[in-house]
Structure 1
C-alpha cells in the first residue's frame, strides 16, 4: 500500500535561473521565482542533510535555508474567552 514519506521544504537561492533544471535531480521543485532567483524544493526528510551539504558545494547556489513549517502548530482552534456572568463597569 501507500506509505506516507516525510518531506522537508528547502529554499535555494541561485545566481542565475538557468541552473534551475540542475536542481531537479535533488528533489521536487514546487515553486520558482525568476525575479528573486530562488527555488522552493521538497526533499525526503532522510536525505536533507546529504542534499544540503551537496548543494552548498555547487557554484550556482548562493544561499540555502530550511522551511519552518514543521515547527509550527497546524492545529488552529478558536479560543473563545469565557464570558463572565457579572459585568464589571
Structure 2
C-alpha cells in the first residue's frame, strides 16, 4: 500500500546545513541560487515536521505543497472540439 506524501518547500539561509534537512524527510531537489529545498514527508506528519523545521536557526520559512489537494482529473480536448463544430441551425 502506498503512503500519502506531501512536499514541503524549505527556504534556508546557508547551503552548509543541507545535510541536516535529510533527517526530516526525503530530500528531492535543492536550488542553490534561490536557496530552497523540496522535501517529501508523510502526510500525517506534516504539521510536526513544519514546526520542527521552523524552529531550526538556519531556516527562513517552510511552506507546504498543495499538490495532494488539487484535482488531477482533466477533461478531454476532443469533447471541446466536438462542441466547437456543432452548428445550431434555426428555421
- TM-score where L is the length of structure 1: 0.87
**Equivalent of 1:59 in 57, 60, 67:** 57
Q: How many residues align?
A: 86
Secondary structure at the counterpart of residue 73 of structure 2: coil
- Structure showing the higher helix proportion among its residues: 2
2:44 is matched with 46
Matches within 5 A, 1:1-89: 3-78=1-76, 79-80=79-80, 82=83, 83-86=85-88
Distance 1:39 1:77 in 2: 33
Unaligned 5+ runs, structure 2? none
Structure 1 runs (4+) deviating above 4 angstroms are none
| 1:68 CA displacement | 1.3
Residue 7 of structure 1: how far off its partner (Å): 0.4
RMSD of aligned alpha carbons:
1.7
Q: Secondary structure at the match of 1:25?
A: coil
Q: Structure 1: which 5+ residue stretches go unaligned?
A: none
